[in-house]
Amino acid sequence: MNGFRKNEWRIIICGLMLLCLITMMKMTVNASQKKVVANKGYNINIGKKKTVNLQYTAKGNGYFYFNLKNKDDNYVRINVTANYKTYSSDNTYVYGRNSYRSEKYCFKKGTKVTIKIISEYGSRLSFRLSEKKLKNFEKEKNDIVSKATTMKLKKTYNGVAQEGDEDWWTFVAPQSGNYTISAVCVDSQRSVYIEGFKITSDDYILSRTCYGGNGWQTVDRVKVSKGDKICVCVTSGYHYSALYKLNIHR
């Protein structure tokens, strides 16, 4: 009898532990406002003509995106807001039984991001926000020359060009000679526009649009003197984001 009770308690304890684990893995959101963390799944229940605001704080050492699945036959509308700006690239509808993956975003560490989900008829959704950390990633806010991210020779750098954003990079030549600026748009069916300037002599460097799927491309080969500063600006094509890589070598 005692042996049976011990086994019974073991089963109950194991069941409770499993239930706690499932709860931790996927939380249900019923409130109108909820702070979300990366790499964790959420079930979201929205009533008729209701809105849920999901709030996320940017980490600043990479980019993030989110996946949303509509489990019902109606639709929801979503948009993303950060720094008082609403991004039109994710101002869209997700219709019944469909899944949606957002654009990539990167913001300065500590930036508050709001993902608004609006339902007309009531909806059940699943949501997950994913973070991706990359080495030698751009330092936001690098949207002006004076705040450009510094580059070093023979290192490959990463960035996300997003809607309405300029990514500035700067490089100081350690010695005189010819230098090559190369770039690649990592995301297929996307593009980034790259233009460079040799600040010391105020010379304009050749610009280039890099399309996803075309591999590494040479933006320009430029002759500089020791101490010359080269500045490179990267922007996104159209109203979407694109992951890119950039380097300068001899």
Q: Which domains does the chain have, with CATH numbers?
A: 24-133 (2.60.120.380), 145-249 (2.60.120.380)
Say which residues have a Cβ less than 8 Å from residue 89's Cβ, sequence separation at least 6.
103, 162, 163, 239, 240, 241
**Judging by DSSP bridges, how do beta strands 229-236 and 166-172 pair with one another?**
antiparallel
* Number of C-beta neighbours around residue 111 at 10 A: 17
**Average confidence (pLDDT) per 10 residues, the chain, 250 residues:** 55 57 57 91 95 96 96 95 91 94 96 96 96 95 94 96 94 94 95 86 79 95 91 88 96
| pLDDT at res. 78 | 96
Between CA 105 and CA 59 the distance in angstroms is 11
| pLDDT at res. 28 | 74
Nearest CA to 68 out of 27, 111, 120, 124 is that of 124
pTM for this model (two decimals) = 0.86
| pLDDT at res. 239 | 75
| pLDDT at res. 88 | 83
| pLDDT at res. 10 | 63
| pLDDT at res. 164 | 87
Between CA 128 and CA 69 the distance in angstroms is 9
Between CA 7 and CA 110 the distance in angstroms is 50
